Structure 1
Amino acid sequence: MENSPADGMPLPQRYGAIITIALGIMMSVLDGAIANVALPTLSQELQASPASTIWVVNAYQMAIMVSLLSFSFLGDMVGYRRIYRYGLALFSLTSLMCALSPTLEWLIAARILQGFSAAAVMSVNTALIRLIYPRAQLGRGLAINALIVAVSAAAGPTVAAAILSVATWHWLFLINLPIGVVGLILALRWLPANTEKQRQRFDLPSALMNALTFGLLIGALSGFAQGQPPLLVAGECIALLIIGTLFVRRQLRLEVPLLPVDLLRIPIFSLSMATSICSFTAQMLALVALPFWMQGVLGRSEVETGLLLTPWPIATMLVAPVAGRLIEHVHAGPLGALGLLLFTTGLVALALLTDTPGDMDIIWRMALCGVGFALFQSPNNHTLISSAPRNRSGGASGMLGTARLTGQSIGAALVALMFNLFNDSGTQSALWLAAAFACIAAIISSLRLSQPHSRA
């Protein structure tokens, strides 16, 4: 399968390719959340403080953020298939390293390497989907991808709790080995190659400035949320402003930039990016704040909380394929705006809940959020990817992942801010803020009505 298919892959080869993508993205997203539940256990068994143990999670997320765009650029240069295969192989190897880590320091180092390998997988997965599916059916492939991302992110704590109930923390990482091996075998057999590659040298200074810019962004957000000394946070913000400005100015001078400012000049692409960041900020605000309210105010157990959160990913799972088919016939602007309005309505309904709601009062609101988010995400991803030139699919794929991670990072930081500012009403404040972000996203999405329907 050395040549890129002219318009998607034929059946049944397409099934093997999309299963490969699903396995890789499932592992990389799941591992972003799966370690959270194990932090108390890791702190005890590795004899480390709870504060230092948090770096098991932070190191992984930061490694992804600082390297995602670099890997997507390399994908445009050397081929998406090659980057994906190497990323999948390294992810399996670093998962074994995590499981065998004797100390917290070794585990954090392994998680950094695991984050880099996850970034390689995430950076080109949607670019590969563009090769796997025919132009007319691209929305279906992106809907599957959106479904896997949403369900994996939501299922992380539940999967972790299930593994820890029957095994040690090491199995949180060992479970990746058989999945990774199967995914790699399928990747070697089924993934298509892209013949349209960028003839551009990799710009190392850009990669370093990219890493510093996103590293400082995450550091400043986390520091602000965790109440670090104001002078330290201010210093990080000043450094972010200086390095970020130099980074963007360098990208504007490059014919094919690492940060795809050329793609941001495409109106529908930049509008879709802004919509994505706002919507994922809203999602993270809700999903991080709600468990505190369910357990702290309603007195629900961890298992009950998990079950009450489940209608969200289930609704997303059911609606995402429908949205993927609708985008083949309906403009993404109104479809995304409709989804985000439903999402906003669900968030407002959650914010208006009393302190003594019944289970069904929570369930239908969570499901409405899931339906709205699914109606938005698949069309938005389709528009973002298909509005870029085919030889810039890697850059578009990297920006899609960057938008998601940036929004999630902002949302998590804002939850901490809401709890610091409003104490007992922190969850309701976070939900109202989430509804505001979702409403802004709906307005931005509707602006795409003036843009032509993108072609894959």
Structure 2
Amino acid sequence: MLIKRLFETRPGDTGLPGPQRRLAMLVLILGTLMAVLDGGIVNIALPTLARELDVSESRAVWITNIYQLVSASTLLAFAALSRLVGRHRLYIGGLGVFTLASLACALSRSFEWLVVSRMVQGIGAAAMLSIGPSMYRVIFPPRLLGSAIGLGALVVAFGIAFGPSLGGAILYLASWPWLFAINVPIGIAALALALRALPRETPEAGRFDWPGALLSMVMVSGFVFALDRLGRDHASSAALLPLAASLGCLVLFVWRQRRAMSPLVPLVIFREPRFSVAAVISMLAFIAQGAAFVGLPILFQSVMGLSPIAAAVLFTPWPLALMLTGPFAGRLADRFNPTLISSLGLAIFLLGMLTLAMLGEAALPGDIAWRVALCGVGYGIFQAPNNREMIGSVALEYSANASGVLASVRTFGQALGTAMVGMMLALPFGSLSLALWLGCGFVVVALVLSLWRVPLARRSRAA
């Protein structure tokens, strides 16, 4: 019923007609799923890649890191570029680059060539992810925006959660190049559909903010690199230089955006309290989720002594619960105040995180599973309404920029959560339990902010 409702056309609907809407949504799902899956599908294959490419495992990690680093550092730039070239052109270009780079990855026979190919693949992924959510506003009418964004959030959650499992299945059935080759036929099919179904837009007049783009790239990549180093060694001095460069570029970036004729990120969007608060809440929630996604597998295997397969099974209730609740939460956000629904989700998510933080080392599988599922239910109820509030609260001409900010705060949040777990494990007094308690603290702050904004959204809906 939910999927059918997304493609029904009513009198007065804006966006695309039902049949074309279905094809355009399929393009977005395929592109987003490939881009998100490739962020984690390689992780399980790193020992195999290190052995077959004759490099150390510490070097092999860069096969994953370079993809994430390039994607994170170019999201804002691509979101701004989409306004000058048209979102459909940028998405099709990103999909084409990603597909060709996937083929190059599959044909790689050296570590260096694979890393370069992954870098190009990350560029294509960023072009798609930076504007994917904003395209829902030109594909769907406002009455269906929350449901569409909920389905998009479901695709992202599925890709994040099931990437390692899919990678393991491919390695079991075939050799490592198929981790990348599987994208080629899917990418070609998605390109054919995109050329037919994506809505055309007239590019805006203006100039691309190259100084702002370079500053944002150094700002984001330096910050992510510093977090990676801190997560590996909390006392590492190697993190100081990129962290300082990142903070310096942040100051220069804000200065540049205030004075540029065509800024990379129009700061006017942050004057809308609903957008700014939703962005902060999203980052706080992703920090907690990132900490749980990294900390729980370690807890299950290193502390409880479970096998990798058993740990994966225990973690499965989270994405399954999210997949069940996310689309329905998005539908409710179209009918009711989305801030109330997302606040309810945060409260449930907080309850789940608290129960996980209090988990004993001798807990039974059933006792673990319901706590993990509770987190998935809460996050599923929270994410789609919050994304709808964020994307829907800015003017349509700024929706691509809002989409880039949404993708960026997700990346920042996950990186911060991962680094937090690493630092807690490296500190003499640290522990996984402490990392989960800190995650709970971030959710508390997010919940307080979410409740505070409820009157803002109520007044906006009334107007």
Shift, 1:62, TM fit: 0.6
Matched AA of 1:407:
G
Greater displacement, 58-67 / 352-361: 352-361
1:383 matches 2:389: yes
Tell me, in whole angstroms, the C-alpha distance in 1 between the residues paired with 2:251 and 2:220.
12
Q: Is the 8 A contact 2:208 2:262 kept in 1?
A: no
Matched AA of 2:15:
G
What SS does the aligned partner of 2:360 have?
coil
Deviations 1:147-193 (A, max 9, x none): 00001100011001100111111111001111111111111111112
Matched AA of 2:440:
A
Tell me, in whole angstroms, the C-alpha distance in 2 between the residues paired with 1:291 and 1:422.
21
Shift, 1:233, TM fit: 2.2
Instruction: Show the counterpart of 1:139.
Output: 146
Greater displacement, 221-230 / 344-353: 221-230
Tell me, in whole angstroms, the C-alpha distance in 2 between the residues paired with 1:56 and 1:262.
37
1:46 matches 2:29: no
Tell me, in whole angstroms, the C-alpha distance in 2 between the residues paired with 1:226 and 1:338.
35
1:179 matches 2:186: yes
Match of 1:338 among 341, 344, 347: 344
Shift, 1:221, TM fit: 1.0
Matched AA of 1:447:
W
Matched AA of 2:396:
R
What SS does the aligned partner of 1:51 have?
helix
Matched AA of 2:74:
S
User: Given the superposition, is the C-alpha separation of residues 338 and 181 from structure 1 closer, same or farther in structure 2, using an over 3 Å criterion?
Assistant: same
Structure 2 gaps, min length 5: 1-11
Matched AA of 2:83:
D
Instruction: Show the counterpart of 1:433.
Output: 438
1:447 matches 2:439: no
Q: Is the 8 A contact 1:146 1:378 kept in 2?
A: yes
4+ aligned runs moved over 4 Å, structure 1: none
Greater displacement, 18-27 / 223-232: 223-232
Shift, 1:443, TM fit: 1.2
Tell me, in whole angstroms, the C-alpha distance in 1 between the residues paired with 2:361 and 2:13.
57
Tell me, in whole angstroms, the C-alpha distance in 2 between the residues paired with 1:413 and 1:259.
27
Greater displacement, 236-245 / 20-29: 236-245
Q: Is the 8 A contact 2:209 2:262 kept in 1?
A: no
Greater displacement, 425-434 / 24-33: 425-434
Matched AA of 1:268:
R
Q: Is the 8 A contact 1:333 1:447 kept in 2?
A: no
Matched AA of 1:322:
F
Shift, 1:144, TM fit: 0.5
Instruction: Show the counterpart of 1:127.
Output: 134
Q: TM-score, normalised by structure 2?
A: 0.94
Task: Write out aligned runs for 1:204-243 (5 A).
Answer: 204-227=210-233, 230-243=236-249
Tell me, in whole angstroms, the C-alpha distance in 1 between the residues paired with 2:196 and 2:204.
24
Q: TM-score, normalised by structure 1?
A: 0.95
Deviations 1:208-231 (A, max 9, x none): 111111111111111222227644
Match of 1:153 among 154, 160, 178: 160
Q: Is the 8 A contact 1:284 1:411 kept in 2?
A: yes
Tell me, in whole angstroms, the C-alpha distance in 2 between the residues paired with 1:378 and 1:65.
21
Tell me, in whole angstroms, the C-alpha distance in 2 between the residues paired with 1:163 and 1:341.
38
What SS does the aligned partner of 1:451 have?
helix
Tell me, in whole angstroms, the C-alpha distance in 1 between the residues paired with 2:234 and 2:328.
45
When the two chains are superposed, the root-mean-square deviation of aligned CA atoms in Å is 1.7
Tell me, in whole angstroms, the C-alpha distance in 2 between the residues paired with 1:27 and 1:241.
32
Tell me, in whole angstroms, the C-alpha distance in 2 between the residues paired with 1:254 and 1:163.
48
Tell me, in whole angstroms, the C-alpha distance in 1 between the residues paired with 2:149 and 2:422.
32
Deviations 1:353-395 (A, max 9, x none): 1112122111111111011101110011101111111111110
1:284 matches 2:290: yes
Tell me, in whole angstroms, the C-alpha distance in 2 between the residues paired with 1:239 and 1:13.
46
Match of 2:275 among 266, 269, 272: 269
Shift, 1:136, TM fit: 0.8
Greater displacement, 412-421 / 327-336: 327-336
Instruction: Show the counterpart of 1:62.
Output: 69
Tell me, in whole angstroms, the C-alpha distance in 2 between the residues paired with 1:25 and 1:444.
29
Greater displacement, 446-455 / 7-16: 446-455
Tell me, in whole angstroms, the C-alpha distance in 2 between the residues paired with 1:239 and 1:315.
40
Tell me, in whole angstroms, the C-alpha distance in 2 between the residues paired with 1:401 and 1:24.
14
Deviations 1:117-141 (A, max 9, x none): 0000101111111111111110010
Instruction: Show the counterpart of 1:113.
Output: 120
Instruction: Show the counterpart of 2:3.
Output: none
Q: Is the 8 A contact 2:79 2:131 kept in 1?
A: yes
Match of 1:250 among 252, 256, 264: 256
Identity among equivalent positions (%) equals 41
Shift, 1:331, TM fit: 1.4
Deviations 1:23-55 (A, max 9, x none): 000000000001110111111111101111111
Tell me, in whole angstroms, the C-alpha distance in 2 between the residues paired with 1:310 and 1:366.
8
Match of 1:76 among 74, 78, 83: 83
